[in-house]
A and B are shown apart, each in its own frame.
Chain A
Amino acid sequence: MFCKLALRNVRRSFRDYGVYLLTLTFGVCLFYTFNSIEGQGALRYLAKVGNPIVNAIMLLIDIFSVVVAVVLACLILYANRFLLRRRKRELGTYLLLGLSQSQVSRLLFLETGLIGLISLAAGLLLGVLASLGLSALTLSMFEIDLSGMLAITFSPKAAGKTVLYFGLIFLLVMVFSGVQVSRSKLIDLIHGERKNEVLKPRPLLFAVLQLLLGVICLAAAYAILLCFGMALAVAILPLCAAMLSLGTVGTLLVFRSLSGFVMKFAQNHPRFYYSNLNMFTLRQWLSKVHTTYLAQTVVCILLLLAIGITASSIGLNNTLSTMTDQEAPFDITVQNRSADHSGPIDFPARLKKSGFEPETLLSAQLDFSARYNDPAITGIADISSVLALSDFNAICQLQGKAPIELPSGGYLMLDTWGDGLVTGSLGLSAAVVEDEVAQQLDVRRQYWSANYAGDRQRTEEQLLPILETLQSEAQLRVDSRLSIYADMMGNKILALFLGLYLGFTFLLAAAAVLALQQLSQAADNTRRYAILRRLGAEETLISRSAAQQVALAFLLPLGLALIHSAVGMKAANDVIAYAGKVDSVQSSLVTALVLLIVYGGYFLATALACGRMARNA
């Protein structure tokens, strides 16, 4: 009997609470997708080339998963509370019919279990597809063609973890609903139709003052962030606390007073106020303010986090990828750091001896030395090494840059560590001097750089072991483009994964909270729409009013969050700009797109459902 009733209720909730199931499924899908990255192409590639970042990524994903699980647990509990409130009358009827409270609790247990099973199965299925998509995305970021690494995989470990975490969450929900039912009184359940909140009409001045105070708080928070910059504003605790609390209070005040402000404003403009159903729509908005302003503040902050994190991670990503080319002008550079006492090594000869054919396998080679700086000869103080002009021009020629000329007795100071001259870096501060001057100085380090001719991967695999054997006679440091690239890709993927993971979670939470709230209100509103219809209001006006209410709820937090994040991104860009230039236009566009898809999807689904409820009222 119970099973049948539970099944029937679940089937009904498919229709009524699609958003709840959708959210559960998305949550499971998100959780699985990011926990299964170990088996995804990009990480398998990084693991294959022995990149240590793989472990770091896995560890961070593990830690962040706990955060995500907590957020999702709060979200699901919140959603469940909404559903229970909507079902008060139904639960009251069960009790009235003579079911005991423990029986009703058991019924809810069964329902939650069933819904949990369904959403777990659907979420895992979706997750397998989503992880394929994420895999394709990350693999496409590599410059090397790795499409061979793409395959549909199922990670039992990630699935197990997902089932464990969500099992715990569902257990929590079950206990929660059980407690909720056992603590409620029958009379409250039967008369569970929510009463309208008591509205105290406040004078216009009050709303204006609140709004003004809110705007001042926000302006102060923005000022702190922009004046001190993100690095300081976040690192110094009093500043950080002041900024966050001012921002939160400001947001809260704006959401609390905005509707009253608009309302009073509209009332002074009868032409607007009395046209169509504007009066009704505004009143609806105002009547829910005290239940929604907290939620809207939370949603606004979640959206801010989602936008900020996603945009920064994508921005950082682009920064990292432009850095690769600067750091690795050659396929490989070997530094002989003991060249000053053991002398330079004849790399081509040694390679040939070990069975490596430099003539066929390498397309170009370059061997030069950095020499000790003697201020007495060069006339340059504060520099630890010098390069000969002919060597420097050879590097330029190989890199396709124009050679330079020095005036007699002149020199050229290089950037801090001679970035971009060799793969890796010189590791010394250096200046370029004329050949005649350089020849008077002792050799300090030898640099041998080369470009591969054929298959880079295979060439490097042949070359590295030989260089390894040379370590015994000299202190060598090997930097290859492929290894730097793999490091970069590791960082890139780390930033992208974590950013997307958290960003999506917060976005999902924000959108789901709003959708549930709106749907629940729409159900309350059906009676009101029926009255409007009886009064002869046109269908289009009623549907429009329903859509406007949903739009107000979704767009207001989004609008404020966009303003917040525009300010935040400006500050964050200054920080990231230390590491490199951020392509903020592109990252903003991608963020907007991601936001549009998830948030817009929820908005559309909610607006459609609310419209349907209004039409069927």
Chain B
Amino acid sequence: MEEILKVTDLTRVYGKGGAVTRALDGVSLTLEAGEFTGVMGPSGSGKTTLLNCVSSIDRPNSGSILIDGQELTRLRGRELARFRRERLGFIFQDCNLLDTLTAFENIALSLSIVKAPARSIDKRVRDMAERLGIQDCLNKYPYQMSGGQQQRCAAARAMVTHPALVLADEPTGALDSKSAGMLLDRLESLNREMGATILMVTHDAFTASCCHRVVFLRDGKIFLELRREDRSRKAFFQEIIRVVSGMGGEMADVL
């Protein structure tokens, strides 16, 4: 399988002199095309730092990030913005839709930004909205939609440009369990049908259980990696729970 993301020996250090925090301490990770990978770990384990580095919002101190064969740490300014909009898609916890734009326009905006041909935009947006089950609220403003609809709209915005890698930061964090279930359902089917590669950071074991594999971070290092293989989601969920309770501390509180 083709490697979409290859992170090698990534280190990110905050602070100077005596008060240094090693948020990432030599993390290596490889994602293959079409993989749906979860990252778990207690607060301060470096999940968000990893995601920020991969999404080029933050810069690592050392190590390399290869996305689709392109070395991310060497890109600067315009090239970086270009890479970000063409190769990456983002889903945030607080879905970050623009409140002045309708759902349709929010999705269309990311196509505008990648300078997609104007003729194709309408069809592509409707297509993606249908896949995420939000075709009925395309003309609504974000504040007229439910949290779940907003988050699926954000997912549509992230996916509509067909990015090489979709980065999701706690996408179910602000949702009730029903909406969260629906969003994960749709993400899974997008992953299955379109072969989208997804890297998702989460706190929640249930959310993580729909991934192909889950990477556990602790103190900036990869602590354990679980693969779903052919198990049922429930069995995978049980195993994740076992690991989480084994990790102890804050992570166990999540249960």
User: A residues bordering B, Cβ < 8 Å?
Assistant: 195-196, 199, 201, 270-271, 273-280, 283-284, 286-287, 528, 531-539
B16 at the interface (CB under 8 A from A): no
B84, A283: Cβ atoms under 8 Å?
Answer: no
Q: Tell me the complex Cα distance, A195–B100, Å.
A: 11
B109, A279: Cβ atoms under 8 Å?
Answer: yes
Q: Tell me the complex Cα distance, A617–B13, Å.
A: 24
Number of cross-chain contacts by CB at 8 Å: 80
B112, A277: Cβ atoms under 8 Å?
Answer: yes
Residue of B nearest to A276 (CB): B112
Smallest beta-carbon distance A121→chain B, Å:
42
B118, A536: Cβ atoms under 8 Å?
Answer: no
B86 at the interface (CB under 8 A from A): yes
A535, B118: Cβ atoms under 8 Å?
Answer: no
B88, A536: Cβ atoms under 8 Å?
Answer: yes
Q: Contacts A274-B108, A528-B98, A528-B100 known; A537 to B118 CB distance under 8 Å?
A: no
Q: Tell me the complex Cα distance, A535–B105, Å.
A: 14
Residue of B nearest to A283 (CB): B100
B119 at the interface (CB under 8 A from A): yes
Q: Which residues of B contact A534 (CB under 8 A)?
A: 57, 84, 90, 92, 96
B238 at the interface (CB under 8 A from A): no
Smallest beta-carbon distance A40→chain B, Å:
51
Which residue of B84, B105, B122, B139 contacts A536 across the interface (Cβ within 8 Å)? B84
Q: Which residues of B contact A277 (CB under 8 A)?
A: 109, 112-113
A271, B118: Cβ atoms under 8 Å?
Answer: yes
B110, A535: Cβ atoms under 8 Å?
Answer: yes
Q: Tell me the complex Cα distance, A55–B83, Å.
A: 73
Q: Tell me the complex Cα distance, A195–B110, Å.
A: 24
9 A-B pairs within 8 Å (CB atoms) are namely A196-B99, A201-B139, A271-B118, A275-B118, A279-B105, A283-B100, A283-B101, A536-B113, A537-B113
Smallest beta-carbon distance A283→chain B, Å:
4
A280, B98: Cβ atoms under 8 Å?
Answer: yes
Q: Which residues of B contact A271 (CB under 8 A)?
A: 118
Q: Contacts A195-B143, A539-B81 known; A531 to B96 CB distance under 8 Å?
A: yes
Q: Which residues of B contact A284 (CB under 8 A)?
A: 100
How many residues does chain B have at the interface if contact means C-beta atoms less than 8 Å apart?
Answer: 35
Q: Tell me the complex Cα distance, A539–B78, Å.
A: 8
B237 at the interface (CB under 8 A from A): no
Q: Contacts A195-B143, A199-B141, A270-B121 known; A536 to B112 CB distance under 8 Å?
A: no
A280, B86: Cβ atoms under 8 Å?
Answer: no
A280, B101: Cβ atoms under 8 Å?
Answer: yes
A274, B101: Cβ atoms under 8 Å?
Answer: no
Q: Tell me the complex Cα distance, A92–B99, Å.
A: 24
7 cross-chain pairs, A with B, having the tightest CB-CB distances, nearest first: A536-B85, A536-B84, A270-B118, A287-B100, A274-B118, A283-B100, A271-B118
Residue of B nearest to A525 (CB): B100
Smallest beta-carbon distance B112→chain A, Å:
5
Residue of B nearest to A530 (CB): B96
Q: Which residues of B contact A286 (CB under 8 A)?
A: 100
Q: Which residues of A contact B121 (CB under 8 A)?
A: 270, 274
Q: Which residues of A contact B83 (CB under 8 A)?
A: 536
Residue of A nearest to B112 (CB): A274
Residue of B nearest to A195 (CB): B143
Q: Contacts A201-B139, A271-B118, A273-B118 known; A535 to B113 CB distance under 8 Å?
A: yes
Q: Which residues of A contact B109 (CB under 8 A)?
A: 277, 279-280, 535
B81, A537: Cβ atoms under 8 Å?
Answer: yes
A537, B85: Cβ atoms under 8 Å?
Answer: yes
Q: Contacts A280-B98, A531-B96, A534-B96 known; A274 to B143 CB distance under 8 Å?
A: no
Q: Which residues of B contact A537 (CB under 8 A)?
A: 81, 85, 113
B100, A535: Cβ atoms under 8 Å?
Answer: no
A538, B81: Cβ atoms under 8 Å?
Answer: yes
B112, A270: Cβ atoms under 8 Å?
Answer: no
Counting chain B CB atoms within 10 Å of each CB, which of A274, A284, A287, A535 scores highest? Answer: A535
Q: Which residues of A contact B76 (CB under 8 A)?
A: none
Smallest beta-carbon distance A550→chain B, Å:
16
B82 at the interface (CB under 8 A from A): yes
Which residue of A270, A276, A536, A539 contacts B86 across the interface (Cβ within 8 Å)? A536
Q: Tell me the complex Cα distance, A280–B98, Å.
A: 9
B111 at the interface (CB under 8 A from A): yes
Q: Which residues of A contact B85 (CB under 8 A)?
A: 535-537
Smallest beta-carbon distance A281→chain B, Å:
10
Q: Which residues of B contact A283 (CB under 8 A)?
A: 98, 100-101, 105
Q: Tell me the complex Cα distance, A220–B7, Å.
A: 70
A279, B143: Cβ atoms under 8 Å?
Answer: no
Smallest beta-carbon distance B94→chain A, Å:
10
Residue of B nearest to A288 (CB): B100
B118, A531: Cβ atoms under 8 Å?
Answer: no
B82, A536: Cβ atoms under 8 Å?
Answer: yes
Smallest beta-carbon distance A195→chain B, Å:
7
A535, B90: Cβ atoms under 8 Å?
Answer: yes
Which residue of B111, B114, B141 contacts A196 across the interface (Cβ within 8 Å)? B141
Which residue of B81, B98, B108, B143 contacts A531 across the interface (Cβ within 8 Å)? B98
Q: Which residues of A contact B99 (CB under 8 A)?
A: 196, 528
Residue of B nearest to A277 (CB): B112
Residue of B nearest to A196 (CB): B99
Counting chain B CB atoms within 10 Å of each CB, which of A278, A279, A532 scores highest? Answer: A279
Q: Contacts A270-B119, A528-B98, A531-B98 known; A279 to B112 CB distance under 8 Å?
A: yes
Q: Tell me the complex Cα distance, A499–B88, Å.
A: 60
A274, B57: Cβ atoms under 8 Å?
Answer: no
Smallest beta-carbon distance A472→chain B, Å:
85
Q: Tell me the complex Cα distance, A279–B85, Å.
A: 17
Q: Which residues of A contact B86 (CB under 8 A)?
A: 536
Q: Tell me the complex Cα distance, A321–B147, Å.
A: 72
Smallest beta-carbon distance B106→chain A, Å:
9
Smallest beta-carbon distance B151→chain A, Å:
14
Residue of B nearest to A536 (CB): B85
Smallest beta-carbon distance A61→chain B, Å:
47
Smallest beta-carbon distance B102→chain A, Å:
8
Q: Which residues of A contact B90 (CB under 8 A)?
A: 534-535
Q: Tell me the complex Cα distance, A382–B143, Å.
A: 85
B81, A196: Cβ atoms under 8 Å?
Answer: no
A274, B139: Cβ atoms under 8 Å?
Answer: no
Q: Tell me the complex Cα distance, A196–B141, Å.
A: 10
Q: Which residues of A contact B112 (CB under 8 A)?
A: 274-279
Q: Which residues of B contact A195 (CB under 8 A)?
A: 143
Q: Which residues of B contact A273 (CB under 8 A)?
A: 118
B133-147: CB near A (< 8 Å → 1, else 0) gives 000000101010000
Smallest beta-carbon distance A479→chain B, Å:
70
Q: Which residues of B contact A270 (CB under 8 A)?
A: 118-119, 121-122
Q: Which residues of A contact B119 (CB under 8 A)?
A: 270
Q: Which residues of A contact B98 (CB under 8 A)?
A: 280, 283, 528, 531-532
Q: Which residues of B contact A533 (CB under 8 A)?
A: 81
Q: Which residues of B contact A287 (CB under 8 A)?
A: 100
Q: Tell me the complex Cα distance, A8–B87, Å.
A: 45
